[in-house]
Amino acid sequence: MYMEHLATGMLGVHKLMASIVLEGLGPSVGKQHKAPAANSGTKPAGYFASVYNPLTWTVTTIVTLTVTFPRVSITDELGHPVPAQIQSSAKHPFAYDLLVLTTISGLSYQYYSIRPIIEAQEGTQEPAAAMANTLQFGHRPRRRSNQGGRRLVPVMNDCYTVLFDQDTNLMFSIQERQSNRTVRVAQEFLEYHVNGDVKQGPISDNYLFAPNETAEPTWDTVRMEIVVGKLATEIRQYFYRNATAQAYTYAIYSRLAHVPQGPHGELLCHRIEQEYQVGPLELNREAILRTSSDLNSQQVLYSDNNGYQMQQRPFQAFRNNTIARNYYPMVQSAFIEDGRSRLVLLSERAHGVSSQGNGQVEVMLHRRLWNNLAWDLNYNLTLNDTSIVHPVLWLLLGPKTLTTALRPRSSLALQHRPVVLLRELASPEPPGQGTSSEPPGLRQQVAVTLPPNLHLQILSVPGWSYNTNHTEHMRHLRQGHQGKAQADLHRVLLRLHHLYEAGEDPVLSQPVTVNLKAVLQGLGSVVAVEERSLTGTWDVHTLQRWSWKTKPGHTRGRPMSPSRPRGGSTITVHPKEIRTFFIHFRQQ
């Protein structure tokens, strides 16, 4: 039931996004495109892609589209060619992955036309996406020792040089080029075996993790492909349970982008993107990815348990269940470090994370469990999950100053990646051909841009009828005059979050002052700004900020809220502060 509701909700969001995009295109362009037809038996004339940036910074990134033709031409809404790369798809045997480099302003769209190049057109000057080359490396058996490192394959961009060992088909090291430090790094999949019989001891289920012993490698051979292109290089590693297995159980797809470290390309250059394929698992197994390094981390892990604050997690030895009691939540990020470098893992979803050895960090990726506990059986809490999952992690490596500046923004870039909507082209001719360089109907966009240390957490129309005076609202409720719930489309709830702690970065940790009228002018004319409590329930000017002492003679926080004029559109957000507002727009 949960999965059905989730799928229904996702479908609803997709339909809503599609209608918003078509409305933004206008009727003249929208009629030229149609939704992909299922099992139509005919190949489309091409595709029209709408790419939306949900962040309020200008983002440069690579989006991946799946197409059915090997040679394509891709242009933007003005008809200009776009940097792109096409390669065989890792997941679809008869399809191709089209990698597109895009730069999108905050809360804005980019539009692309994608058309196949047929043989008759190959001699023309029509720009085509660059074709990537694939290097194959055969199966290599798992080694029981640390031998290897003699035949290394380098994969590099402007920020990293990653070495892969041809003798093992595993990652060997990562060099961060700015600091010129090389860190030995290896990754592999392991599984914890767990008990399913309550008569035999502790069990694992939805809420419990009770492994029998240390994790064991679950693969015997690994095969590797390196897909080399102008825009990015992708490393594909396939892990097989035994030498005779025809299908792999695990896979790692790593990607380095070949972009310069410009003002917008810094985040893209300074990350190693990894997507994993895990499953289906055998019964009563819990799968992890273990990343081992030569960082002298002293088995100290840092992770966030709420996506807001990082906490130190030193390894502790216990008499019972030491492994599980050293697992911690990772909502967005975790890292290990020594005196010179920090290795950061960013996640798109919550995971369990632990450091079971010096220089190690392991992430729980998937679980398949069954037990005979009556409570679990009655409420379907055994977690007998035979699915295949595709979690995503990004790796950052470098000095503390560099990774401290990159981690909060990179984490949000992962969790709020561009939204891509693909529609089939109904006509083989490019829209607007022979008339204007810009397709008719595209509406002018005005970006919403905030400084890089501010995050727009919420920008939404509250779906409830609420009097901005909380006392008056409560009086109406007590008198039974609640009224019909009706959204006020001219009042928007906005919440801003400062991403950095005081002292974390000499520039990004400073207070930020912005004019909300100027920032939001692309959405409409702002007539009033009303600051609210964190939840939006109360007028902030009616509240008294709490203060507390953490040590004798030391007071944390400000004992009084600073003077903030009512209705002022210029605001200042301090380190780690979250501020909430009602923004009132002029009625059209």
In this predicted model, what pLDDT tens digit does every residue of 400-445 receive, in sequence order?
A: 999 999 999 999 999 999 999 988 886 655 544 443 434 445 556 7
In a domain, 432, yes or no: no
Number of structural domains in the chain = 3
Residue 383: domain span = 133-415
* Stretch 149-156: mean pLDDT: 90
**In a shared domain, residues 340 and 252:** yes
**In a shared domain, residues 234 and 374:** yes
In a domain, 408, yes or no: yes
Q: Look at residues 441, 366, 529, 414 and name the one whose alpha carbon lies nearest to residue 32.
A: 441
pLDDT in tens, 111-138: 999 999 876 455 556 678 999 999 999 9
Last residue of a domain, one of 393, 415, 437: 415
In a domain, 430, yes or no: no
Whether the per-residue pLDDT at 335 is higher than 80: the answer is yes
Contact between 106 and 450 (Cβ < 8 Å): yes
In a domain, 444, yes or no: no
Collapse the DSSP code of 34 into the 3-class scheme (helix H, G, I; strand E, B; otherwise coil) and give the result.
strand
**In a shared domain, residues 203 and 108:** no
**In a shared domain, residues 48 and 80:** yes
The pTM of the full predicted model, rounded to 2 decimals, is 0.90
pLDDT-based confidence at residue 397 (cuts at 50, 70, 90): very high
Cα 278-396-448 angle, rounded to 5 deg: 100
In a domain, 442, yes or no: no
Which of 4-18, 249-263, 311-325 has the lowest average pLDDT? 4-18
Distance between CA atoms of residues 148 and 135, nearest Å: 20
CB-based burial label for 550 (10 Å; 0-12, 13-18, 19+): exposed
Distance between CA atoms of residues 368 and 384, nearest Å: 5
Last residue of a domain, one of 366, 388, 415: 415
In a domain, 436, yes or no: no
Could you tell me the CA-to-CA distances from 482 to 122, 467, 485 in Å, in that order? 68, 10, 8
**In a shared domain, residues 28 and 175:** no
Last residue of a domain, one of 425, 446, 467: 425
In a domain, 443, yes or no: no
CA 552 to chain centre: 42
CATH number of the domain that residue 144 is part of: 2.70.98.30
* Stretch 385-410: mean pLDDT: 96
Q: What would the two tokens of residue 397 be?
A: 């490596």
Distance between CA atoms of residues 354 and 286, nearest Å: 14
Whether the per-residue pLDDT at 223 is higher than 50: the answer is yes
CATH number of the domain that residue 75 is part of: 2.60.40.1180
**In a shared domain, residues 170 and 260:** yes
pLDDT-based confidence at residue 566 (cuts at 50, 70, 90): low
**In a shared domain, residues 376 and 253:** yes
* Stretch 181-204: mean pLDDT: 93
* Stretch 196-207: mean pLDDT: 86
As a whole-number percent, the residues of the chain with pLDDT over 90 amount to 61
**In a shared domain, residues 469 and 408:** no
Please provide the DSSP assignment of 88-102 as one string. Answer: E-SS-TT-EEEEEEE
**In a shared domain, residues 187 and 46:** no
Number of CB atoms found within 10 A of residue 463's CB: 10
Q: What is the largest CA-CA distance in the chain?
A: 82
**In a shared domain, residues 264 and 356:** yes
CATH number of the domain that residue 475 is part of: 2.60.40.1360
pLDDT in tens, 22-76: 666 655 454 444 544 444 556 678 899 999 999 999 999 999 999 988 999 999 9
Contact between 77 and 104 (Cβ < 8 Å): no
Q: What would the two tokens of residue 462 be?
A: 């509250």
**In a shared domain, residues 148 and 96:** no
**In a shared domain, residues 191 and 332:** yes
Average of per-residue pLDDT values in the chain: 86
pLDDT-based confidence at residue 466 (cuts at 50, 70, 90): low
DSSP-assigned letter for residue 539: B
